[in-house]
Amino acid sequence: MNEFKVFTIKKNIHEDNDKVAETTRSKLKKHGVYLINIMSSPGSGKTTTLVSTIKALKNDIKIGVMEADVDSEVDAKTVQDAGAKAIQLHTGGMCHLDATMTKQGIDELGVNELDLVFLENIGNLICPAGYDTGAMKNVAILSVPEGDDKPLKYPKIFGKVDVLIVNKIDAMEHFDFSIDLLEKRVKKLNKDILIFPISAKTGEGVNDWVKWIRNEIKKEG
């Protein structure tokens, strides 16, 4: 596989975010590409979840990944080794991606030979929740060690996303964590949210998440 590109994104503050987001969505739909925006805290397992997902889908779905970080190329290398086309986006210190930044990443990644693109957003539960990136669906990952009280502390992101992945369920016995309580708190904010408990490490529950992705792509197709 070719070396992945490292692309430093530049923000145009004069562009309207929602307008750019909608233009990006329309372009992707025209090319038959499905974009999923993934958000979480650092250490929740975003990259490990992506690797498990890529391995499950790569034989019949062409996948691209935009890895957003303040610095480093580690995650882009990891997902490329798993079988996806990858680029690294350096944000220059900014704690989120907006639609203009995402568009620049899409333009650099290219969409002509892809079916599915993941945007791995900057790792925090506050800034990324405020911006439409142009994605078809927004996904949050919460890991068991972070606690089931996170929806109380960061309601905006849990109220916005379409899917919540609860990762590291293999470690559940070691933490005071209740899936039932988490679901109750999240659904009070977002009654239509889908919740997938998984272990990206062991593979438990990953098939349900992957099945959802396949169905979403079919709907758009």
Strand order across the 163-167 sheet: 5-8, 85-90, 63-69, 116-120, 34-40, 137-143, 163-167, 194-197
Q: Which domains does the chain have, with CATH numbers?
A: 5-220 (3.40.50.300)
Average pLDDT rounded to a whole number, residues 147-159: 97
The pLDDT tens digits of the residues spanning 38-64 come to: 999 999 999 999 999 999 999 999 999
Contact 194, 164 (CB under 8 A): yes
Predicted local distance difference test score (pLDDT) of residue 14 = 46
The pLDDT tens digits of the residues spanning 72-125 come to: 667 888 999 999 999 988 777 677 788 988 999 999 999 889 999 999 998 899
Question: pLDDT higher for 98 or 211?
Answer: 211
- Output the six-digit token pair for 131: 């911006």
Average pLDDT rounded to a whole number, residues 61-73: 81
- Whether the per-residue pLDDT at 2 is higher than 70: the answer is no
Predicted local distance difference test score (pLDDT) of residue 70 = 54
pTM, full prediction:
0.91
Question: pLDDT higher for 98 or 193?
Answer: 193
Local confidence band at 173 (pLDDT 50, 70, 90 cut-offs): very high
Predicted local distance difference test score (pLDDT) of residue 220 = 82
Task: Please tell me the number of Cα atoms within 13 Å of 147 on its side-chain side.
Answer: 6
Predicted local distance difference test score (pLDDT) of residue 16 = 87
Predicted local distance difference test score (pLDDT) of residue 126 = 92
